[in-house]
Homo-oligomer: A and B are copies of this chain.
Amino acid sequence: MVDTMERTKTLARDETDNLIASNKVEGTEVFNHKGEKLGKVENFMVGKRSGRVEYAVMSFGGILGIGEDHYPLPWDALDYDTEKDGYRVDIDKDKLKGAPSYRSDTGAAFNRQYGERVYSYYGIAY
């Protein structure tokens, strides 16, 4: 549908050395240090006034978005792994089960307290 030249141009706009496009982050798969797939980045939440990414949302499971688990992840916990072509988060699958998620917690109330809980779970300073 899209010719090669146009595609190349679009890809170049998706990413630079320092910057990444929001819609390129969305849908990217997430693996752990063992190479196990944990889920994919559904989207990420940005401070309306600050313009800072507060956290990314990793989802897995469910069908067509229903019954999915959603895990808020600190931006700094996501390292891009060029070999896997996805993000790497250093967490065991077992430990992930106990991580803050939108099944067990309310998704809307991402306040300072919840933020600290999320960040500390992944060993990142809030």
* In the complex, chain A residues 36-71 whose Cβ is within 8 Å of any chain B Cβ: 43-49, 51-54, 57, 65-66, 70
Q: Is A109 an interface residue (CB 8 A)?
A: yes
Could you tell me the distance in whole angstroms from the C-beta of A4 to the nearest C-beta in chain B?
A: 13
Q: How many interface residues does A have (CB within 8 Å)?
A: 38
Could you tell me the distance in whole angstroms from the C-beta of A7 to the nearest C-beta in chain B?
A: 10
- Integer count of this chain's copies in the complex: 2
Interface residues of A (CB under 8 A from B): 2, 6, 10, 12-13, 16, 18-26, 43-49, 51-54, 57, 65-66, 70, 75-76, 80, 102, 107-110
Whether B22 lies near A108 (C-beta < 8 A) is: no
Contact of A19 (CB < 8 Å), options: B13, B24, B48: B48
The 8 closest A-B pairs by CB, nearest first: A51-B75, A51-B53, A19-B45, A22-B22, A23-B43, A13-B107, A22-B43, A21-B43
